[in-house]
């Protein structure tokens, strides 16, 4: 089981790199904002992969970016099929990763606590 997990991690890392490169160089959809691909989790059977991303901006900009990413998923799969030497390229599912927002929120709480302790 451990080998499968390492394999999925390795493939996820490859997909993350290729998706990031495509977003920088190949994808010109105006709906897609400044996106950072945080992680890619690949199913053990390679049937699908969840792409976790962050984007700076409003809720509307995040929603537009998600729509843009979903519309480019087929193109990305075809390109990865050409670029990567895998028997199967997983279906891509994009999910907004709000971890950085949670971290900022927690940092704000900690700052407030420190200020209250100083007073």
Tell me what the pLDDT averaged over the chain comes to.
87
Return the pLDDT at 101.
59
* Domains held by the chain: number: 1
- Residue that wins the pLDDT comparison between 111 and 93: 93
pLDDT band at 109 (very low <50, low <70, confident <90, very high): confident
Backbone angles phi, psi at 55, to 5 degrees: -150, 140
Model pLDDT, residue 119: 72
pLDDT at residue 23 greater than cutoff 90: yes
- Identify the pLDDT of residue 68: 96
Domain that holds residue 84: 2-118
Residues 6 or more apart from 35 whose CB is under 8 A from it? 23, 53, 54, 55, 65, 69
Check: pTM over 0.85? Answer yes or no. Answer: no
DSSP assignment of the chain equals -HHHHHHHHHHHHHHHHHHHHHHHHT---TT--SEEEEEEEE-TTSSEEEEEEEE-S-HHHHHHHHHHHHHHHHHHHHHHHHHS--S-PPEEEEEE--HHHHHHHHHHHHHHHHHHHH-
The pLDDT value recorded for residue 91 is 96
pLDDT bucket at 1, cuts 50 / 70 / 90? very low
Q: Assign residue 62 the CATH number of its domain.
A: 3.30.300.20
Kindly report, residue by residue over 28-69, the tens digit of the pLDDT: 999 998 899 999 999 999 899 999 999 888 889 999 999 999
């Amino acid at each position: 089981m451990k080998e499968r997990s390492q394999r999925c991690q390795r493939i996820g890392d490859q997909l993350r790199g290729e998706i990031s490169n495509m977003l920088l160089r190949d994808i010109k959809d105006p709906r897609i904002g400044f996106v950072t691909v945080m992680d890619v989790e690949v199913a053990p059977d390679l049937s699908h992969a969840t792409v976790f991303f962050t984007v700076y901006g409003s809720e509307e900009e995040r929603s537009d970016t998600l729509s843009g990413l979903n519309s480019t998923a087929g193109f990305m799969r075809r390109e990865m099929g050409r670029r990567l030497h895998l028997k199967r390229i997983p279906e891509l599912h994009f999910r907004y990763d709000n971890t950085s927002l949670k971290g900022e929120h927690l940092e704000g709480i900690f700052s407030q606590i420190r200020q209250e302790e100083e007073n």
